[in-house]
């Protein structure tokens, strides 16, 4: 008989299997109407349903770990998203982004708040926290609708809009989360909240987050590309500097009490533009993508376990109907309103409006909010948020491959080609080939 295996050895074996899946699954799923998150959640549900685990996957049992681990996944994803964007920053060039941030997200928050309060009977504070958690487009699970790696030319208006939106609105949703926290405190203490919220949570934390992210991005850009040749980091080819920039940016800006999510994305954008033609950007993007994918799979395995362990048990038909309304009505309608007058084909506008993917960012915001306020509806909020994330993973994950293939074909690209063989989108083709004699 074999002795009982050491838990440490079991953990090593499981980690090795997980890393193998991280490397192999994206290739296997590339042309299938499935997404990596769907497979991860299914594996996690199966593991927790049939294999005894030493811990509970319920987020309410480990609120601090839930907040911190989802926070880690999001900041890595934000660095990766910023490093992918080739387009230089500008008000006109980023016009689609401002529409999604200034119109679509507030409309979504308002609509979801009303649905939560009137449809589910949540308190207004709980409904606002619920809405602020679900309004942002997720930077982690939206990889299939984002721009390609640096300098690949895979940056049409749809992919750029969804990538830049996911990068910025994960920071700009924070004022609404903090508004819910402030209102919960006001209901208990009666102390004034409006001036402090406007000055600190809106003006200071957004402004300082942008400024701090820009300054740190400039510093890392100088260290990486512009110091004397023998000591510039780009010469090493070690993309780990991107992870360093992520942690330094997030840590320093959180120390001065501003939005670290926003700072990380701005740091990534600034670093990306420090020397935009350098191939070292590929090394930095690759390491962030690998770390992000591994951390995302761990989190989604646990999320699948939570689903299998009864996270959705308290829900009924009303909650299912509300979750579908949020994904299939609120976001698409708000998106189409925000894109009125935007010069794009109907398919492009519809794709941007539809793919408001919800995921890891929603887990973080809800965990953060509940860890900073005391409300009775915590279990209900986790259940309905989990349902929205699950439905988003299924609906968007099953539709993303056919929709993006259709979009590529409509823009003259071959969705089955690899790398440089793809026909770039309109406006990025470069000079025409000279006519043959």
Dihedral pair phi/psi, residue 198, rounded to 5°: -65, -45
pLDDT digits (tens, 9 = 90+) for 28-63: 666 666 677 888 899 899 989 888 888 889 999 999
Q: With respect to residue 153, please indicate whether it lies within any of the assigned structural domains.
A: yes
**Residue 420: inside a domain, yes or no?**
no
Comparing CA positions, the residue from 352, 384, 343 lying closest to residue 133 is 384
Angle at which helix 378-410 crosses helix 317-325, to 10 degrees, equals 40
Q: Does residue 65 fall inside a structural domain?
A: yes
Q: Are 420 and 160 in contact (CB under 8 A)?
A: no
Residue 379 main-chain phi, psi, to 5 deg? -60, -45
CB 270, CB 256: distance < 8 Å: no
- The CA distance from 406 to 399, in Å, is 11
Look up the CATH number of the domain holding residue 52. 1.20.1530.20
pLDDT reported for residue 423: 38
Q: Which pTM value belongs to this model?
A: 0.89
Residue 4 lies in a domain: no
More confident site: 247 or 432:
247
Domain extent, residue 290, equals 14-25+34-415
Residue 426 has pLDDT above 50, yes or no: no
197 within some domain: yes
Q: By the 8 A CB rule, do 249 and 260 touch?
A: yes
Query: Does 161 reside within a domain?
Result: yes
Query: Which has the closest alpha carbon to 353: 365, 345, 363, 361?
Result: 345
Tokens coding 259 = 């939005």
CA distance 30 to 40: 15
Give tens-digit pLDDT for 107-123.
Answer: 999 999 999 999 999 99
pLDDT in tens, 126-170: 999 999 999 888 888 777 777 777 866 667 888 888 889 988 987
418 CB-near residues (< 8 Å, 6+ apart)? none
**What's residue 276's pLDDT?**
85
The pair of structure tokens assigned to 4 is 């009982």
Number of domains the chain contains:
1
254: which 2 tokens? 């959180």
Give the integer Cα–Cα distance in Å for 349 and 334: 11
> Which pLDDT does position 235 carry in this prediction?
67
pLDDT band at 435 (very low <50, low <70, confident <90, very high): very low
Contact 263, 250 (CB under 8 A): yes
Contact 227, 212 (CB under 8 A): no
Establish if 73 belongs to a structural domain: yes
Instruction: Kindly state whether residue 437 falls inside one of the protein's structural domains.
Output: no
DSSP letter, residue 93: T
Quickly state the pLDDT bin for 430 (edges 50, 70, 90).
very low
The residue-averaged pLDDT of 272-291 equals: 88
């Amino acid at each position: 008989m074999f002795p009982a295996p050491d838990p440490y050895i079991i953990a090593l074996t499981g980690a090795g299997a997980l890393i193998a899946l991280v490397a192999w699954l994206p290739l296997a799923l590339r042309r299938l109407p499935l997404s990596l998150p769907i497979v991860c959640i299914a594996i996690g549900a199966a593991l927790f349903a049939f294999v005894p685990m030493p811990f509970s996957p319920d987020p309410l049992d480990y609120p601090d770990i839930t907040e911190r681990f989802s926070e880690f996944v999001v900041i890595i994803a934000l660095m990766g998203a910023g490093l992918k964007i080739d387009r230089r920053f500008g008000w006109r060039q980023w016009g689609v982004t401002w529409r999604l941030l200034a119109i679509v997200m507030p409309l979504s928050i308002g609509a979801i708040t009303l649905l939560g309060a009137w449809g589910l009977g949540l308190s207004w504070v709980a409904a606002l926290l619920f809405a602020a958690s679900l309004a942002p487009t997720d930077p982690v699970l939206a990889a299939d609708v984002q721009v390609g790696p640096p300098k690949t030319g895979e940056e049409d208006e749809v992919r750029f809009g969804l990538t830049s939106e996911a990068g910025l609105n994960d920071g700009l949703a924070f004022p609404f989360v903090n508004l819910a926290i402030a209102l919960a405190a006001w209901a208990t203490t009666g102390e004034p909240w409006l001036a402090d919220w406007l000055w600190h949570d809106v003006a200071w934390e957004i402004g300082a987050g942008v400024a701090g992210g820009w300054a740190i991005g400039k510093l890392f850009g100088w260290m990486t590309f512009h110091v004397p040749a023998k000591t510039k980091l780009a010469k090493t080819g070690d993309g780990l500097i991107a992870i360093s920039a992520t942690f330094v940016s997030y840590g320093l800006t959180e120390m001065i009490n501003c939005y670290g999510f926003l700072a990380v994305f701005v740091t990534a954008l600034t670093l990306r533009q420090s020397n935009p033609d350098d191939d070292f950007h590929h090394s930095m993007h690759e390491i962030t993508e690998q770390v992000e994918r591994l951390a995302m799979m761990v989190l989604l395995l646990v999320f699948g376990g939570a689903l299998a362990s009864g996270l959705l048990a308290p829900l009924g038909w009303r909650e299912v109907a509300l979750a579908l309304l949020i994904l299939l009505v609120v976001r698409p309608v708000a998106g189409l309103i925000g894109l009125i007058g935007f010069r794009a084909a109907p398919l492009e506008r519809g794709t941007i409006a539809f793919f408001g993917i919800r995921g890891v960012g929603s887990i973080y915001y809800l965990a953060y909010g509940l860890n900073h306020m005391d409300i009775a509806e915590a279990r209900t909020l986790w259940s309905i948020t989990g349902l929205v994330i699950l439905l988003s993973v299924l609906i968007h994950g099953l539709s993303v491959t056919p929709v993006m293939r259709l979009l590529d074909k409509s823009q003259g690209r071959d969705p089955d080609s690899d790398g440089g063989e793809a026909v770039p989108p309109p406006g990025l083709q470069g000079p025409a080939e000279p006519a043959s004699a």
